[in-house]
Every structure is written in structure tokens, then in C-alpha cells.
Chains A and B, each alone.
Chain A
Amino acid sequence: MKRVYVNEKWCLGCHLCEYYCAFASTGETDMARALKDIRINPRIRVEECEGISFAVSCRHCPEPLCVKGCITGALRKIDGIITVDRNRCIGCYTCILSCPYGAVSPSEDGAIQKCELCIKTHEGTPRCVLGCPNGAIVFEERGE
């Protein structure tokens, strides 16, 4: 299946992927208006330190520890994509304790959030990929 892959060689550390991610879930049409005065809480996060930067989002693991450990059954893997049923999540954060990539985080309302490859908001390529100005984030299939 297609996944999001990052290449830190090309990452500018501009954080635009984070803004596109946050924008994708607003359902608005104008990015500037949608994000004005908002402190964004994106599902993809750039790590940076001493000139190195790269974005991290859910790897959609074939053997996902977050799904296996989920105490409510809110996290499920459907057609290869790990999604969360926010209605069932009670915010125990066992998934945050389980994810080896640090790719799950709390959302504003207490339920967890994670990259769902934009399947709930858009069709096609995830918004972080479309918004990356330097091709450091790609959406492709790699020899599985």
C-alpha cells in the first residue's frame, strides 16, 4: 500500500506539512483564514535539532502495537490504514505509550489523534505531501 515517507536530506524544517495537516482537518477552503490565531496541533510533527529536521507521522505498521494495545477497540486497521473511532476513544493514551515512533498524540478534546492519510477529509494524496515545497515527503508504494 501507499505510505507517507520522508527524506530528511530534503527537509527544510519549514513546518508547512504541519500547517497543511492542521488545515486538512478544518474543512475550510482558505488556509490563512482557517489557521489564523490558532495554535495548531498537527498529526505530523517535525523534529529538529542542530540543523537536522524531518517530519514524523504514523507508519501504519503491519503489526501495529497501538491497535493491539488499544483498550477500547477504538483503534482499528482497515485496508491497511490505522484509524481511530473518536467516539470510542476515552483518552487513556495506551497507544501513546505503545507507539515506537511517537506518532500518536492527544487532541484538543482528549481523544487521541494520528495520521489517517487524510482518508476522512480528502481524496487522493495526503495534504502534508501536497504541501511540502521540497519533495521531502512523498506518498508512494515501496516494495512490499
Chain B
Amino acid sequence: MEYVIIGNSTAAVGAVEAIRRNDKTGKIVIISNEKYHVYSRPLISYLLLGKTDEERMKYRNDDFYSEHRCELKLGRTAQRIDVQEKRVILDDGESVSYDRLLVASGSSPVVPPIPGLEKVRNKFTFTTLDDAKSLEKALFENARVLILGAGLIGLKCAEGLSKRNVEIICVDLSTRVLSSILDDQSSEIMKQHLEDHHISFYLGRQVTGFKDNVACLDDNDEIPFDVLVLAVGVRPNVNLIKDIGGKTNRGILIDERCRTSIPDIYAAGDCCESMDISSGQIKQMALLPNAYMQGECAGMNMSGVDCIFDKAIPMNAIGLFGKHIMTAGTYTGQTYYESDGKDYKKLFYSNNRLNGFILIGNIEKAGIYTALIREKTPLDTLDFELICKTPGLMAFSRETRAEKLGGVINEYLGSPVGISCVE
């Protein structure tokens, strides 16, 4: 069996580890346009911050590829897929044949079409190790750094820059920071916290144009800057599949076995759209845990073991200047709420199910809430009042507790996240 994987990040690793559980001898070829040993992308902000280094950023040990017997084609770009011949054609004309192909091509930062952007000096995106290295080189004492986007990437970048003796200004179209994961009140708490750490915001504003290194806003404000970081979002890399007529929307469409619409071609990770079971909607969930589990699911199926991943939900754990945020699921339904103005907790529920939550500050045992969403646990089977106040196993019935703590944990049963426990 010949396996080819396009991409060399989280989903690819998930696939390699799964394939090697089932197939010790098949050939695995990994193609990536980045030249690095697999590294953790979210760590690039910690690299700027000095909390990690390139060595510790490695997502797997140095012997990962040799141990899993992978052939690497790094610094090479997969240009197209020949479905008839079952081959991947690379930029230098070389072609690699496959029996099963995984497209784990990730996503690319969106570069907004703002007039004058092309003349801006020192502009960067912030999703790869090379991005972080080039940004770092452009920094100097008292530089004014303008970050476009106050979402996860923009704010982690801001934190990464915070010890660099630079001025940090953040502009976002939304009136709220982290608008994709927080509601009004929790967003306000985080904005205050970030302002306390010397990040200034222009929210609900749009950059309408650049005059060299001056940003012009829609209300005629002008912000001069030295360095620009574009962090307005990412777009799934779908072209390889789109070009051969595979089904795509904003991302590549996959089923619960991570198959694309084309036989023997799978897709996983940030290049995909998949079902968010907390809302029932198909969406792009560019999150590392989902990427790993999709990659793993794809790898299982590619190597002949039937496997379903049908438990994806949006989930984010993010720390900013010592304050931790955890969110998961969908924010619909009735709410349970507590806040002292600094810490925050809101749970969203309806129809006997927990739909989602937002926690700031006290994040202890948050995974118990996540599990309620993921497993769609009927809330009338537990002490809901208690679990709202304090997440814990105490809220479950005595029998369920006995199963969870005294029981034998089932081995692999179809779903890679279906951890069920029986006595």
C-alpha cells in the first residue's frame, strides 16, 4: 500500500500515527512546502515571547519520521492530483503515486484587498514559523506595530510582541475582541485586561486604505505604524481538490470518515469543513485538536480500519497575559451565568443538553463541561444545578461515577473520541 500525505502538520501526524497502528510496512510519503520538521503552529507567538524555542516547538521527536518510516519531500509543493493515474504531481515535475491520498493542506492567511496595501513596508501574516521569524527581524525598539484583527491570531501575536518594547495597536471591524468565541460581556472583560497590558484598540473600525505606512480608518482617523501584521482570518487551501472536481465549499467537504467526494482521497484539518455537532452545522473549525482527530480518523480508514469521527465541536483554550479563556460549543439557549467583573462563566443549554460555555479565569475541570457537549449527555441524568456551580463527577449518578472511576475503559470502538466506560 502506498500512502501519500500532502501537508506536514497536525493532521498529517494524526494520520501517520493511525496508519502505523494498522500497517507497519506500507510506504508513507509526506509532501510539504515548508522545510521544517513538524512543529506546533500555535507556538509561534510563544516563540516571539521567548517562552519556547525552535527545538521545543517540534510537535514530535526528532526520530518521528524514521520511527514511523516516512519518506519526506519537504520544501516541495504538490501542484495537482492526477485522479486517473492516482499520482500527485510536484512543482519540479516529479510525480508520486498513491493508493490512498490524504490532503492535509491547511489554510492560508487572508490578505484583505485594501487599497495601498501593496506599498506598505514591513507587512506580515502570522501563521507559520517563517512568518514569526520575518516579523521578529523587522522589530526594533519603540516600533509601532499595527495588528489588523483582534481575534485569536491577532491577540496571540500581540501577546508575543509584548516584551519586545514595541507599541501595539489593534484594529478590528468588530466592536468586540475575540468576537468569534466571546459574547459582549466576556469580550469587554478581556478588552480591559488587554488594555491593562498596554494594547490599544480601535474596534468597530475599518482600515479603508494605506498611504505608505499610515493606515486610514473609515472615520478618517489615521494611524502611522512601522510594522503591519495581517490577522484577519484564514482560508482553507482547497484548490488541489477543487481543481479535480471534488466537492468544496469554503473548505473541502468531508464525510464522517474524512473522505472527500473523490475515491481514495481523504482530507483532514484546517483545509476542511466538517460537522459541528453542538450546532448541527457544517463549518470550518480550524482547531488543532480537531485536526489531529480528523487526521487520525483518515489514517485509520486509509489503512483499512473503519473509523468515524463525528464528535467535532468548536473548542478553544487561550491564555492572554495570564488570564485563561476556555470556550466550547454553540452559544444558544438558556444561560447559567456568574461573574465578578474579572472572572466569568456562562453556560448555554436547551432541550436537556448543554450547547456551549464560556469561562474566563477559573477554568478548573472545564473538560467536564466539554464532555457534556461532546457526548450530548441528557442534563436530567445529572445534578445540573451542582454541575453549573462546580464541574465535577459528583453531579453524575452513583452508577455513572462507579463506571467512570472503577470501570474498565473500553478499547477502540469506532469513534476515536468515543471514550465509553463499562463495569
Interface residues of A (CB under 8 A from B): 5-8, 47-49, 52, 54, 56, 59, 61-63, 65, 68-69, 71-73, 87-88, 90-102, 104-105, 142-144
Contact B416 A63 (CB under 8 A): yes
Contact B409 A93 (CB under 8 A): no
Instruction: Give the size of the chain B interface in residues (CB under 8 angstroms).
Output: 56
Within 8 A of A (CB), among B355-395: 363-368, 370-371, 374-375, 386, 391-394
Interface residue from A62, A71, A73, A90 paired with B412 (Cβ < 8 Å): A62
Stretch at the interface among B84-92, B190-198, B199-207, B398-406: B398-406
CA A56 – CA B402 in complex, angstroms? 11
In the complex, what residues of A have CB within 8 A of residue B51's CB?
90
Contact A68 B408 (CB under 8 A): no
In the complex, what residues of A have CB within 8 A of residue B371's CB?
100
Interface residue from B393, B405, B418 paired with A5 (Cβ < 8 Å): B405
B142 at the interface (CB under 8 A from A): no
In the complex, what residues of A have CB within 8 A of residue B288's CB?
69, 71, 94
CA A5 – CA B407 in complex, angstroms? 8
Contact B296 A105 (CB under 8 A): no
In the complex, what residues of B have CB within 8 A of residue A71's CB?
40, 42-43, 288
Contact A99 B405 (CB under 8 A): no
Beyond A63-B412, A93-B324, is A102–B365 a contact (Cβ under 8 Å)? yes
Contact B419 A144 (CB under 8 A): no
Beyond A47-B393, A52-B394, A71-B43, is A97–B370 a contact (Cβ under 8 Å)? yes
B134 at the interface (CB under 8 A from A): no
Interface centre among A62, A95, A97 (most CB of B within 10 A): A97
CA A96 – CA B318 in complex, angstroms? 11
CA A134 – CA B399 in complex, angstroms? 21
Beyond A6-B405, A98-B289, is A73–B58 a contact (Cβ under 8 Å)? yes
Within 8 A of A (CB), among B5-37: 14
Secondary structure class of chain B's binding surface, majority of residues? mixed
Which 3 pairs across A and B sit closest by C-beta, in order of nearness?
A102-B365, A69-B289, A100-B371
Within 8 A of A (CB), among B36-65: 40, 42-43, 46, 51-52, 56-60
Beyond A63-B412, A73-B58, A92-B317, is A100–B40 a contact (Cβ under 8 Å)? no
In the complex, what residues of A have CB within 8 A of residue B404's CB?
59, 101
B347 at the interface (CB under 8 A from A): no
Beyond A56-B393, A101-B404, is A96–B289 a contact (Cβ under 8 Å)? no
Contact A90 B46 (CB under 8 A): yes
Beyond A93-B363, A101-B367, A101-B393, is A143–B408 a contact (Cβ under 8 Å)? yes
B293 at the interface (CB under 8 A from A): yes
B410 at the interface (CB under 8 A from A): yes
Q: List 5 A-B contacts (CB under 8 A).
A: A8-B405, A98-B370, A142-B408, A144-B408, A144-B409
CA A35 – CA B365 in complex, angstroms? 25
CA A7 – CA B404 in complex, angstroms? 11
Beyond A54-B405, A68-B296, A69-B289, is A62–B367 a contact (Cβ under 8 Å)? no
Contact B419 A93 (CB under 8 A): no
**In the complex, per-residue mask of B308-323: 1 if CB is within 8 Å of any chain A CB, else 0:** 0000000111110000
CA A101 – CA B256 in complex, angstroms? 26
Contact A73 B317 (CB under 8 A): no
In the complex, what residues of A have CB within 8 A of residue B368's CB?
100-102
Contact A97 B328 (CB under 8 A): yes
In the complex, what residues of B have CB within 8 A of residue A91's CB?
319
CA A63 – CA B297 in complex, angstroms? 12
Contact A73 B40 (CB under 8 A): yes
CA A83 – CA B331 in complex, angstroms? 34
Smallest CB gap from A105: residue in B:
B364
Contact B406 A68 (CB under 8 A): no
Contact B394 A47 (CB under 8 A): yes
B126 at the interface (CB under 8 A from A): no
